[in-house]
Structure 1
Amino acid sequence: MPATFRFRRMVDFSDTDMAGIMHFAAFFRFMESAEHALLRSLGLSIYQQHEEGVALSFPRVSARCDYHSPARCENELDIEVVVHRLGTSSITYGFRFSHADHELAVGEMTSVCCLIQEGVRPKPTPLPQDIVALLKPYLSAS
């Protein structure tokens, strides 16, 4: 059974539309916040120094979200994060949003490990083995 990272975040007024319902785009910001929290809990960062003048970062290449029920202003959302896939240079995360044990949405986001250097296009690079080892416990069977 894979480990699941749990993250809680309140829906702010700025996350909602005129009806007080969480705007669809806010789910993507919440997914990113949950991903960052997972990485920080493992002692990692979404953007870290790799070598002099070169950083290691994880630009997104794909994101999707399927909505089942609305989230409303001031709801506290529980966001569960698992890793669906660890590729050679990519990580695909799965997200499940709920409020009061009621599923609201499920999403998925794929990030590619890249070397980032100012003035140079991001260059995909294999995932460092220490990062793979830290994420493996979250790898789901799906």
Structure 2
Amino acid sequence: MNYRFPVRVYYEDTDAAGIVYYANYFRFMERARTEWLRDLGFEQDVLRREYGIVFVVRSAAADYRAPARFNDLLWVTGELVQHSRTGMTIAQNVYRQGDNELLCKGEVGIVCVDIESFRPRPIPSAILEKIKNAE
């Protein structure tokens, strides 16, 4: 998976200093992962309804390199680092479009869980196959 998703910075994304509030980078990353799944043919509400699963964040880390500001156009990338039967680790970076400056370097651990018990569950084979083929 080498996915790239565009994001524009809005006022609501910034803090009192006029830069993107640190936690919003995780929101941008979440959007990119959701769109990646959608591009693979999987809507999150359908996964919940038809497969009885959701993907939840197990871990998240970010290294902030430079600030993004109001009205910047960004690229949020995603690359599958590893996967197992029940989870995956995705490297996600945020770049400013135009100068391609790396603003935030992140890594997110995702686990597939049963919607009823919230216990880890194997990623359905149809989904895992698409993920593997997207590598």
Pairwise CA distance, 1:131: 1.1
Unpaired runs of 5+ in structure 1? none
Q: Show CA shifts across 1:49-71 (max 9, x none).
A: 235xxx21011110111110100
Whole-Å Cα distance in 2 between the matches of residues 41 and 134 of structure 1? 10
CA RMSD in angstroms comes to: 1.4
Q: Which residue of 2 aligns with 1:34?
A: 32
Whole-Å Cα distance in 1 between the matches of residues 14 and 56 of structure 2? 26
TM-score normalized with structure 2 length: 0.90
TM-score normalized with structure 1 length: 0.86
Q: Match for 2:80 among 79, 83, 103?
A: 83
Structure 1 runs (4+) deviating above 3 angstroms are none
- Flag the structure with higher strand content: 1
- Flag the structure with higher helix content: 2
Unpaired runs of 5+ in structure 2? none
State, as a whole percentage, how many aligned pairs show the same letter.
31
- 1:68-107 counterparts in 2 under 5 A? 68-99=65-96, 100=98, 101-107=100-106
Q: Which residue of 2 aligns with 1:56?
A: 53
Amino acid at match of 2:87: S
Q: Which residue of 1 aligns with 2:125?
A: 129
Number of equivalences = 131
Q: Show CA shifts across 1:46-103 (max 9, x none).
A: 342235xxx2101111011111010001101111111111112001111111112111
Whole-Å Cα distance in 2 between the matches of residues 22 and 85 of structure 1? 29
